[in-house]
């Protein structure tokens, strides 16, 4: 409600939709032309991975763990820079091919580094190595 009031006070409420809490955000993400994550400090940001797995072009702040998540895909901007954000949204909207290429690169990166199969295998490898080490120590 606070955000609704602020948007109304600034005369920009026609540009926003406030849906409230949603259990399944995928249906909303599917409607996005560009996903934006403007965190001032984000250790990881699962929303960024969700965007990448859904093949959405992204603009995010280069803070915390976000640059590691995106790597050389999509667009990273300084935190707290609304002018750069506006510029990059416009850039994506005017460069459809680049926008689509970045979305696909982001998807490929997410799939290769962050898929559940890869994470499961990594965890199992660690446990296997620990069990092997314990077994060797008992001999």
Query: Which one has a higher pLDDT value, 1 or 56?
Result: 56
Cβ contact 85:95 at 8 Å: no
Cβ contact 75:102 at 8 Å: yes
pLDDT at residue 118 greater than cutoff 60? no
Share of the chain above pLDDT 90, in %: 65
Over residues 59-74, the mean pLDDT reads: 95
pLDDT at residue 48 greater than cutoff 90? yes
Task: Give the pLDDT of residue 133.
Answer: 74
Residues 112, 6: Cα–Cα separation, whole Å: 41
pLDDT at residue 139 greater than cutoff 70? no
Token digits of residue 58: 């992204």
Instruction: Say how many CA atoms lie within 13 Å of 117 toward its Cβ.
Output: 3
pLDDT at residue 119 greater than cutoff 70? no
Residues 41, 63: Cα–Cα separation, whole Å: 6
Q: What is the residue-averaged pLDDT of the chain?
A: 89
H/E stretch holding 67 reads helix 66-70
Over residues 35-48, the mean pLDDT reads: 90
Token digits of residue 70: 């995106």
Query: Which one has a higher pLDDT value, 120 or 77?
Result: 77
First CA to last CA distance, the chain: 65
The answer to whether the Cα torsion of 36, 41, 44, 45 is positive or negative is negative
The structure's pTM equals: 0.73
């Amino acid at each position: 409600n606070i955000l609704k009031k602020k948007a109304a006070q600034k005369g920009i409420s026609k540009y926003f939709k406030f849906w409230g809490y949603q259990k399944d955000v995928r249906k909303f993400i599917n409607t996005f032309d560009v996903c934006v994550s403007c965190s001032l400090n984000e250790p990881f940001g699962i929303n960024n991975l969700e965007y990448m797995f859904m093949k959405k072009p992204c603009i995010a702040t280069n803070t915390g763990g976000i640059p590691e998540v995106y790597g050389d895909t999509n667009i990273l901007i300084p935190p707290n820079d609304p002018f750069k954000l506006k510029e990059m949204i416009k850039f994506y909207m005017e460069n459809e091919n680049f926008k689509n290429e970045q979305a696909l690169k982001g998807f490929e990166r997410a799939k290769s580094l962050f898929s559940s199969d890869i994470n499961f295998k990594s965890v199992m490898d660690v446990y296997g190595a620990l069990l092997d080490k314990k077994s060797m120590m008992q001999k």
